[in-house]
Amino acid sequence: MPKEYINPPGVPRHTYFTRILSVTAPSKLIYIAGQVPSDDAFRPIHTGDIRAQFIAVLDSLTVQLRAIGATWEDVVFRRMYAVDVAAFVEACVKDEGFPVPWDRARPSPSTLIGVTALANPEFLVELEIAVVITD
């Protein structure tokens, strides 16, 4: 499906996200609820390790994308919540070797929001995504 990734002049370009993503073909828009680092009983996993928690969140979202016939290339927006933004940025954003599942050359637009708490005090990060696939 045709997508245009736009980083306009005059606005700083970031390696972790694209400023604007335009979808130009008939498509289906899908929202995937916030994913937290939990097991099947909704108990926190990787307690105290924001990097391991974020990897677990990405793995769970990858399963959900497959369930709808999508991939990370179909993600058009990411919204991340972190209890400790500085720790998240250090462990997951600044590290060029961090295993992001999306194309680093064409990342979707993204927002990182610092929060005081998530659904469980041991959850350090949560990610929700929007996906566009061909209808």
Range of the structural domain that residue 61 is part of: 3-134
d(Cα 56, Cα 1) in Å, to the nearest integer?
28
Reported as a single tens digit per residue, the pLDDT across 20-75 is 888 877 889 999 999 999 999 999 999 999 999 999 999 999 999 999 999 999 99
Given the structure tokens 């997951």, which residue do they identify?
92
Amino acid at 120: N
Q: How confident is the model at residue 19 (pLDDT cuts 50, 70, 90)?
A: confident
For 23, residues 6+ apart whose C-beta sits below 8 A from its C-beta are 1, 2, 3, 76, 132
Residue 60 is part of a domain; what is its CATH number? 3.30.1330.40
* The pLDDT of residue 86: 96
Per the rule left: phi > 0, alpha: psi between -120 and 50, beta: everything else, 74 is: alpha
Whether the CB-CB separation of 35 and 64 falls below 8 Å is answered with: yes
In total, how many domains does the chain have? Answer: 1
Per-residue confidence band for 128, with pLDDT thresholds at 50, 70 and 90: very high
